[in-house]
Structure 1
Amino acid sequence: MPEYLKTADEFRKALKDAGNKWVVVDFTASWCPPCKMIAPIFETLSKEFTEIKFYKVDVDENNETAEDQGIQAMPTFKFYQNEKAMKTMKGADEKQLKSNLEECK
Protein backbone atom coordinates (compact mmCIF):
# COMPACT_ATOMS: atom_id res chain seq x y z
CA MET A 1 0.00 0.00 0.00
CA PRO A 2 1.45 3.40 -0.94
CA GLU A 3 2.69 5.31 2.09
CA TYR A 4 1.40 8.78 2.96
CA LEU A 5 4.05 11.49 3.14
CA LYS A 6 2.75 13.63 5.98
CA THR A 7 5.29 16.47 6.00
CA ALA A 8 7.42 18.40 3.53
CA ASP A 9 10.51 16.79 5.13
CA GLU A 10 9.11 13.27 4.55
CA PHE A 11 8.35 14.23 0.93
CA ARG A 12 11.89 15.54 0.30
CA LYS A 13 13.46 12.51 2.01
CA ALA A 14 11.36 10.06 -0.08
CA LEU A 15 12.53 11.72 -3.31
CA LYS A 16 16.14 11.85 -2.15
CA ASP A 17 16.17 8.24 -0.93
CA ALA A 18 14.80 7.01 -4.28
CA GLY A 19 17.95 8.20 -6.06
CA ASN A 20 17.50 7.62 -9.80
CA LYS A 21 14.46 5.35 -9.31
CA TRP A 22 11.14 6.72 -10.50
CA VAL A 23 8.74 8.01 -7.84
CA VAL A 24 5.04 8.66 -8.43
CA VAL A 25 3.09 10.76 -5.94
CA ASP A 26 -0.69 10.83 -5.82
CA PHE A 27 -1.75 14.25 -4.52
CA THR A 28 -5.17 13.46 -3.10
CA ALA A 29 -7.86 14.63 -0.68
CA SER A 30 -10.15 12.58 1.55
CA TRP A 31 -13.24 14.51 0.37
CA CYS A 32 -12.51 14.09 -3.37
CA PRO A 33 -14.74 11.50 -5.17
CA PRO A 34 -12.38 10.96 -8.18
CA CYS A 35 -9.51 10.46 -5.69
CA LYS A 36 -11.50 7.74 -3.91
CA MET A 37 -12.28 6.10 -7.26
CA ILE A 38 -8.63 5.92 -8.41
CA ALA A 39 -7.15 5.00 -4.98
CA PRO A 40 -7.60 1.19 -5.27
CA ILE A 41 -6.27 1.32 -8.85
CA PHE A 42 -3.20 3.26 -7.68
CA GLU A 43 -2.66 0.61 -5.00
CA THR A 44 -2.97 -2.24 -7.54
CA LEU A 45 -0.55 -0.51 -9.91
CA SER A 46 1.97 -0.14 -7.05
CA LYS A 47 2.06 -3.96 -6.86
CA GLU A 48 2.44 -4.29 -10.63
CA PHE A 49 5.16 -1.64 -11.10
CA THR A 50 7.43 -2.70 -8.25
CA GLU A 51 10.46 -0.86 -9.68
CA ILE A 52 8.65 2.47 -9.12
CA LYS A 53 8.14 3.99 -5.65
CA PHE A 54 4.49 4.95 -4.97
CA TYR A 55 3.48 7.59 -2.40
CA LYS A 56 0.46 9.69 -1.52
CA VAL A 57 0.18 13.23 -0.22
CA ASP A 58 -3.08 14.39 1.35
CA VAL A 59 -3.23 18.03 0.23
CA ASP A 60 -5.13 19.06 3.37
CA GLU A 61 -2.74 17.36 5.81
CA ASN A 62 0.46 18.26 3.94
CA ASN A 63 -0.51 21.52 2.27
CA GLU A 64 3.08 22.80 2.43
CA THR A 65 4.16 20.13 -0.07
CA ALA A 66 1.00 20.54 -2.18
CA GLU A 67 1.60 24.30 -2.46
CA ASP A 68 5.31 23.84 -3.12
CA GLN A 69 4.49 21.41 -5.96
CA GLY A 70 1.83 23.71 -7.45
CA ILE A 71 -1.08 21.31 -6.95
CA GLN A 72 -4.39 22.91 -7.95
CA ALA A 73 -6.61 19.91 -8.79
CA MET A 74 -7.12 16.51 -7.25
CA PRO A 75 -6.08 13.95 -8.01
CA THR A 76 -2.80 15.06 -9.51
CA PHE A 77 -0.06 12.51 -10.12
CA LYS A 78 3.50 13.74 -10.34
CA PHE A 79 6.35 11.59 -11.59
CA TYR A 80 9.82 12.30 -10.23
CA GLN A 81 13.31 11.09 -11.01
CA ASN A 82 16.50 12.32 -9.32
CA GLU A 83 14.36 14.59 -7.11
CA LYS A 84 12.94 16.44 -10.15
CA ALA A 85 9.34 16.46 -11.38
CA MET A 86 9.50 14.94 -14.86
CA LYS A 87 5.78 14.81 -15.69
CA THR A 88 2.38 15.69 -14.25
CA MET A 89 -0.99 14.11 -14.83
CA LYS A 90 -4.28 15.59 -13.59
CA GLY A 91 -7.44 13.56 -13.16
CA ALA A 92 -8.46 9.99 -12.37
CA ASP A 93 -7.78 8.42 -15.77
CA GLU A 94 -6.65 4.82 -15.22
CA LYS A 95 -5.40 4.30 -18.80
CA GLN A 96 -3.39 7.52 -18.79
CA LEU A 97 -1.92 6.70 -15.37
CA LYS A 98 -0.87 3.22 -16.53
CA SER A 99 0.59 4.65 -19.74
CA ASN A 100 2.67 7.16 -17.75
CA LEU A 101 3.93 4.36 -15.50
CA GLU A 102 4.87 2.25 -18.55
CA GLU A 103 7.01 5.17 -19.78
CA CYS A 104 8.84 5.21 -16.43
CA LYS A 105 10.02 1.59 -16.72
Structure 2
Amino acid sequence: MKFVICLIVSYLCLTSAENKLQIIETEAQFDEQLKNAGNGLVVVEFCVKWATPCIAMKTILEKLAVLYENVAIFKVDIEKMKDLGTRFKISAVPAYVFLKDGQFIESFLGAESRRLEHTIMKLNN
Protein backbone atom coordinates (compact mmCIF):
# COMPACT_ATOMS: atom_id res chain seq x y z
CA MET A 1 0.00 0.00 0.00
CA LYS A 2 2.78 2.45 0.92
CA PHE A 3 4.53 1.69 -2.37
CA VAL A 4 1.39 2.54 -4.36
CA ILE A 5 0.96 5.81 -2.48
CA CYS A 6 4.61 6.71 -3.11
CA LEU A 7 4.18 6.02 -6.81
CA ILE A 8 1.06 8.19 -6.98
CA VAL A 9 2.74 11.04 -5.09
CA SER A 10 5.84 10.78 -7.29
CA TYR A 11 3.67 10.82 -10.42
CA LEU A 12 1.73 13.86 -9.23
CA CYS A 13 4.93 15.73 -8.34
CA LEU A 14 6.53 14.98 -11.69
CA THR A 15 3.35 15.89 -13.56
CA SER A 16 3.22 19.15 -11.65
CA ALA A 17 6.92 19.75 -12.31
CA GLU A 18 6.45 19.16 -16.02
CA ASN A 19 3.82 21.88 -16.01
CA LYS A 20 6.11 24.29 -14.09
CA LEU A 21 9.28 23.67 -16.08
CA GLN A 22 9.17 25.61 -19.30
CA ILE A 23 11.23 24.29 -22.17
CA ILE A 24 12.42 27.30 -24.12
CA GLU A 25 12.69 26.72 -27.87
CA THR A 26 13.16 30.28 -29.22
CA GLU A 27 14.52 33.58 -28.00
CA ALA A 28 11.12 35.17 -28.64
CA GLN A 29 9.50 32.54 -26.39
CA PHE A 30 12.10 33.25 -23.71
CA ASP A 31 11.38 36.99 -23.82
CA GLU A 32 7.61 36.38 -23.72
CA GLN A 33 7.81 33.95 -20.77
CA LEU A 34 10.17 36.31 -18.94
CA LYS A 35 7.64 39.11 -19.43
CA ASN A 36 4.83 36.81 -18.19
CA ALA A 37 6.81 36.08 -15.02
CA GLY A 38 6.43 39.74 -14.06
CA ASN A 39 8.45 40.69 -11.00
CA GLY A 40 8.80 37.11 -9.80
CA LEU A 41 11.96 35.06 -9.62
CA VAL A 42 13.00 33.25 -12.80
CA VAL A 43 15.60 30.49 -12.82
CA VAL A 44 17.10 29.61 -16.20
CA GLU A 45 18.98 26.34 -16.55
CA PHE A 46 21.32 26.20 -19.54
CA CYS A 47 22.16 22.60 -20.37
CA VAL A 48 22.61 19.99 -23.07
CA LYS A 49 20.77 16.67 -23.15
CA TRP A 50 23.87 14.48 -23.31
CA ALA A 51 25.92 16.01 -20.44
CA THR A 52 26.04 13.83 -17.34
CA PRO A 53 25.83 16.78 -14.88
CA CYS A 54 22.74 18.07 -16.70
CA ILE A 55 21.13 14.65 -16.58
CA ALA A 56 21.90 14.42 -12.85
CA MET A 57 20.25 17.80 -12.16
CA LYS A 58 17.03 17.02 -14.09
CA THR A 59 15.20 15.36 -11.18
CA ILE A 60 16.41 17.99 -8.73
CA LEU A 61 15.13 20.79 -10.94
CA GLU A 62 11.76 19.02 -11.24
CA LYS A 63 11.49 18.72 -7.45
CA LEU A 64 12.40 22.38 -6.97
CA ALA A 65 9.73 23.35 -9.48
CA VAL A 66 7.16 21.62 -7.27
CA LEU A 67 8.52 23.03 -4.00
CA TYR A 68 8.74 26.61 -5.27
CA GLU A 69 5.50 27.00 -7.22
CA ASN A 70 5.83 30.78 -7.48
CA VAL A 71 9.23 30.54 -9.19
CA ALA A 72 9.34 30.27 -12.98
CA ILE A 73 11.92 27.73 -14.13
CA PHE A 74 13.10 27.71 -17.74
CA LYS A 75 15.19 24.99 -19.38
CA VAL A 76 17.34 26.02 -22.32
CA ASP A 77 19.27 23.61 -24.55
CA ILE A 78 22.36 25.68 -25.26
CA GLU A 79 23.14 23.72 -28.43
CA LYS A 80 19.80 24.82 -29.90
CA MET A 81 19.81 28.30 -28.35
CA LYS A 82 23.39 29.53 -28.79
CA ASP A 83 22.34 33.18 -29.08
CA LEU A 84 20.63 33.04 -25.69
CA GLY A 85 23.73 31.42 -24.23
CA THR A 86 25.83 34.24 -25.65
CA ARG A 87 23.38 36.80 -24.26
CA PHE A 88 24.01 35.47 -20.74
CA LYS A 89 27.72 34.70 -21.30
CA ILE A 90 27.34 30.97 -20.65
CA SER A 91 30.73 29.24 -20.82
CA ALA A 92 29.91 25.77 -19.41
CA VAL A 93 26.93 23.63 -18.45
CA PRO A 94 24.96 23.30 -16.40
CA ALA A 95 24.67 27.01 -15.78
CA TYR A 96 21.99 28.68 -13.71
CA VAL A 97 20.91 32.28 -14.24
CA PHE A 98 18.61 34.06 -11.81
CA LEU A 99 16.43 36.96 -12.95
CA LYS A 100 13.96 39.14 -11.12
CA ASP A 101 11.82 41.86 -12.69
CA GLY A 102 13.41 40.70 -15.94
CA GLN A 103 16.83 41.77 -14.69
CA PHE A 104 19.92 39.66 -14.08
CA ILE A 105 20.56 39.01 -10.37
CA GLU A 106 23.27 36.35 -10.32
CA SER A 107 24.46 33.10 -11.88
CA PHE A 108 26.68 30.12 -11.24
CA LEU A 109 28.11 27.14 -13.09
CA GLY A 110 27.98 23.51 -12.06
CA ALA A 111 25.68 20.76 -10.87
CA GLU A 112 25.39 22.05 -7.31
CA SER A 113 21.93 21.10 -6.08
CA ARG A 114 22.34 22.61 -2.62
CA ARG A 115 23.59 25.88 -4.04
CA LEU A 116 20.69 25.94 -6.50
CA GLU A 117 18.09 25.51 -3.78
CA HIS A 118 19.87 27.93 -1.42
CA THR A 119 19.95 30.60 -4.13
CA ILE A 120 16.25 30.09 -4.91
CA MET A 121 15.42 30.38 -1.21
CA LYS A 122 17.56 33.50 -0.82
CA LEU A 123 16.13 35.31 -3.87
CA ASN A 124 12.51 34.16 -3.57
CA ASN A 125 11.24 36.81 -1.19
Smaller-chain TM-score bracket: over 0.9
Q: Is 1:89 aligned to 2:122, yes or no?
A: no
Residues 20-43 of structure 1: CA distance to partner in whole angstroms, max 9, x if unpaired? 011001001012110000111001
Task: Kindly report structure 1 stretches of 4+ aligned residues shifted beyond 4 Å.
Answer: none
Gap regions ≥5 residues in structure 1: none
1:47 corresponds to 2:66? yes
Paired with 2:33 and 2:85, the residues of 1 have a C-alpha distance of 15
How many angstroms does 1:63 deviate by? 1.2
Higher Rg of the two aligned structures: 2
For residue 6 of structure 1, what is the aligned residue in structure 2?
25
Gaps of 5+ in 2: 1-17
C-alpha separation in 2, matches of 1:104 and 1:78: 12
TM-score between the two structures when normalised by the length of structure 1: 0.96
- Aligned partners of 2:95 and 2:119: how far apart in 1? 13
**TM-score where L is the length of structure 2:** 0.81
More helix by share: 2
Q: Which residue of 2 aligns with 1:102?
A: 121
What is the total number of aligned residue pairs between the two structures? 105
Ranked by relative contact order (alpha carbons within 8 Å, sequence separation 6 or more), the top structure is 1
* SS in structure 1 at match of 2:40: coil
Q: CA RMSD in A?
A: 0.8
